[in-house]
Structure 1
Amino acid sequence: MKKNNVLEDGYGRRFYYLRLSVTDVCNFRCDYCLPEGYQSVPKAPDLSVAEAATVMRAFAQLGTQKVRLSGGEPSLRKDLPELIQAARQTPGIQRVAVTSNGYKLPSVIDSWHLSGLDQLNISIDSLDDNEFARITGHDCLPKIRAGIDRALALGIQTKVNAVLLSDGAQARLQQFLRWLKTTPVTLRFIELMQTGDNRDYFASNHLRGSDIEQQLIESGWQLLPRAIDAGPAREYVHPDYAGRIGLITPYSKDFCSSCNRLRISAQGKLHLCLFSDAGLDLRETIRTGDADALAEKVRALIGNKEVSHYLQNGNTGGTQNLSIIGG
């Protein structure tokens, strides 16, 4: 394996973190993402395990240390354990993560663990069973929480993602705080982002994460240092809580200055930003299995990465919904 310097763009940002979508299919109907459910469209086949392995080898050569397998809903791929194993066996990859809605978690988490999973992110926007069912279209929160308990028992670092929605935000915050008293997960509040399909919903439901963050600081939560392969969350701890809280606030000033991640879609397109206008098709190179050639192609393309996502200007790029390239 040829080892290159860490991938760096024209703004001095270094990229240690790859988000690799393995499918854009999702079985949930979340209000803010796919309220009508997943709509199938003609597209190229998803990357095979061998093709995904080529992608991960190439990015490892470029300094990537962490791979997150995302979707859509990655558990809908029956070969997800093989994909996890491929990531685990890639020289240079130190952390393997999966983001999931948790629908199948109790029945699959042991196989993911055996395949080499280090970190799990589960999306839960409310701890109220009825509200969760209304948001997602599935009445399955108790099953998901049982899966989280099993993941923790297996020693898997577990995070829970919750999209901030203005209506009922304080009630949900108090529910989560009670849970975090005794549950050692990291809860990450994610500020609702505008996409091509949710403009009206965004206008009605957007809540700035800075409002919640200030409330936490005033309650004694303290900011932790950020690891080089960490996601975009600012993470807080409190001596009275077993869990932690993270804030992802894409509309905050200089949010993009600390960007350390790139995305590959399930069809093999490089997305330099979640909100880029279009992906850069790498499938032909991926199919050759030549990780060196793929790494050089990615290095040549990184100069096209913009300084900002320009969300603050109302730009949503080509992102119609967050299931397309894993959010």
Structure 2
Amino acid sequence: MAATDTNSAIVLDRAAAAPQPLIDPFARAITYLRVSVTDRCDFRCVYCMSEHMTFLPKADLLTLEELDRLCSAFIAKGVTKLRLTGGEPLVRRGIMTLVESLSRHLKSGALKELTLTTNGSQLEKYAAQLKDCGVDRINVSIDTLDPDKFRAITRWGDLGKVLAGVDAAQKAGLKVKINAVALKGVNEDELADMTAWANGRGMDLTLIEVMPLGETGESRVDQYLPLSLARARLAERYTLEDIDYRTGGPARYVRVKETGGRLGFITPLTHNFCESCNRVRITCTGTLFMCLGQNDAADLRTPLRASESDVPLYAAIDEAIGRKPKGHDFVIDRQHQRPAVARHMSVTGG
């Protein structure tokens, strides 16, 4: 090998060994990665999916080993928080082997937090294993405490099974945060009681506005409840005190004086949270979305599979982060009843 070739190889090896941190065009450090390990789910929530979904062929999905390598590449480039999502992440076959493997980054100190968002249906089975792998906290999606209404919202879900999962998670020592999508005319009258329930069990509750992603067979105009209105109604029952508390995500929190607990608001429509965005998302096929509310994306599966070296992968990640936009374009299209983004939330990861 010529000297110049040898020197080039050394440069490449050094680049792979010392990848550069992820800084977007607006000087925001990208330290939070959300990874959809599957687009499949055992629920069909009315704001997330259509009732009769067509899921990706299993052959199109990254293997668990490829997901591990992809996550590890981002961790090497400065990601310190990793959230596994879906679909429903716990329905992915062999998912705990991935969680266990990724936990090595917690032990090394490279990763500060490994967590996941789940609908809770499989939580009773996996809660203890998650805790053993170093997962300290999880988000559980529960939009109502009414069993009949829960089945109507999820189309297939069993609230009793989900609540048993929450019990198992708390018993295992996991810190649980409840996420609830605020739905006009559906659960808006429950939000105060849900706050009391969650805070009474030592859990934060975060309310989320409907996001116009994908065709679901339901009108987003009919579903959309501005959280500014929800907060005003909650303030009639509770004393809400603004606090400077962050979890690394987009929620803005208040302290509920009467319960002593926290209540969060995620408002992509009434007040977006883009100015401090430190997040990117990867799909289960290896597509990187730099913004949940934009269609621009980057293919990471090709460089991942093209070489055993991570150098091409790092280059593809850097190029994509260089295109990260300042903010999203979410809007409820009242005239045409179209989603702002055609893909479903389950494709990108919640």
TM-score (norm 1): 0.91
Residue 179 of structure 2 corresponds to residue 164 of structure 1: no
Question: Structure 2: where are the runs of 5+ without partners?
Answer: 1-15
Measured in 1, the distance between the counterparts of 2:231 and 2:313 equals 40
SS at match of 1:323: helix
Query: Which position in structure 2 is the counterpart of 1:294?
Result: 313
Does the CA contact (< 8 Å) of 1:224 and 1:235 recur in 2?
A: yes
Query: Which position in structure 2 is the counterpart of 1:308?
Result: 327
Residue 47 of structure 2 corresponds to residue 32 of structure 1: yes
* Amino acid in structure 2 at the alignment position of 1:302: I
Does the CA contact (< 8 Å) of 1:65 and 1:95 recur in 2?
A: yes
* Amino acid in structure 2 at the alignment position of 1:300: E
Query: Which position in structure 1 is the counterpart of 2:229?
Result: 211
Measured in 1, the distance between the counterparts of 2:17 and 2:242 equals 38
Measured in 2, the distance between the counterparts of 1:8 and 1:202 equals 34
Query: Which position in structure 2 is the counterpart of 1:173?
Result: 191
Q: Report the CA distance between 1:173 and its aligned residue.
A: 0.9
1:143 to 1:313, Cα distance in 2 relative to 1, 3 A: closer
Q: Which of residues 81, 87, 96 is equivalent to 1:81?
A: 96
SS at match of 1:120: strand
* RMSD of Structure 2 on Structure 1 (CA): 2.3
Does the CA contact (< 8 Å) of 1:183 and 1:242 recur in 2?
A: no
1:6 to 1:209, Cα distance in 2 relative to 1, 3 A: farther
* Amino acid in structure 2 at the alignment position of 1:50: E
Q: How does 1:104-253 map to 2 (within 5 A)?
A: 104-198=122-216, 201-216=219-234, 219-227=238-246, 230-241=248-259, 243-253=261-271
* Amino acid in structure 1 at the alignment position of 2:67: A
Measured in 2, the distance between the counterparts of 1:302 and 1:20 equals 16
Q: Report the CA distance between 1:180 and its aligned residue.
A: 2.8
Q: Which of residues 29, 46, 49 is equivalent to 1:14?
A: 29
Measured in 1, the distance between the counterparts of 2:28 and 2:145 equals 37
Does the CA contact (< 8 Å) of 2:85 and 2:116 recur in 1?
A: yes
SS at match of 1:211: helix
Measured in 1, the distance between the counterparts of 2:301 and 2:244 equals 37
Question: Structure 1: where are the runs of 5+ without partners?
Answer: none
Q: Which has the larger radius of gyration?
A: 2
Measured in 1, the distance between the counterparts of 2:272 and 2:294 equals 17
* Amino acid in structure 1 at the alignment position of 2:279: R
Task: State the identity as a percent.
Answer: 33
Measured in 2, the distance between the counterparts of 1:213 and 1:258 equals 22
Moved more, 77-86 or 185-194: 77-86
Does the CA contact (< 8 Å) of 1:256 and 1:307 recur in 2?
A: yes
Q: Report the CA distance between 1:112 and its aligned residue.
A: 1.9
Measured in 1, the distance between the counterparts of 2:66 and 2:20 equals 23
Query: Which position in structure 2 is the counterpart of 1:325?
Result: 348
Measured in 2, the distance between the counterparts of 1:207 and 1:138 equals 23
1:148 to 1:3, Cα distance in 2 relative to 1, 3 A: farther
Q: Report the CA distance between 1:181 and its aligned residue.
A: 4.3
Q: Per-residue displacement from partner, 1:178-237 (whole Å, max 9, x unpaired)?
A: 30342111211110011231485101110111222344456322233244x611111222
Q: Report the CA distance between 1:239 and its aligned residue.
A: 4.0
* Amino acid in structure 1 at the alignment position of 2:239: G
1:76 to 1:181, Cα distance in 2 relative to 1, 3 A: closer
Residue 304 of structure 2 corresponds to residue 281 of structure 1: no
Q: Which of residues 69, 88, 102 is equivalent to 2:120?
A: 102
1:24 to 1:141, Cα distance in 2 relative to 1, 3 A: same
Aligned length: 326
Q: Per-residue displacement from partner, 1:224-265 (whole Å, max 9, x unpaired)?
A: 3244x6111112222432542111000134521121110110
* Amino acid in structure 2 at the alignment position of 1:26: C
Q: Per-residue displacement from partner, 1:52-105 (whole Å, max 9, x unpaired)?
A: 121122111221111111111111112111111222212411101111111111
Q: Report the CA distance between 1:32 and its aligned residue.
A: 1.3
Does the CA contact (< 8 Å) of 2:46 and 2:218 recur in 1?
A: no
1:243 to 1:125, Cα distance in 2 relative to 1, 3 A: same
Q: Report the CA distance between 1:289 and its aligned residue.
A: 4.5
1:112 to 1:233, Cα distance in 2 relative to 1, 3 A: same
1:239 to 1:102, Cα distance in 2 relative to 1, 3 A: same
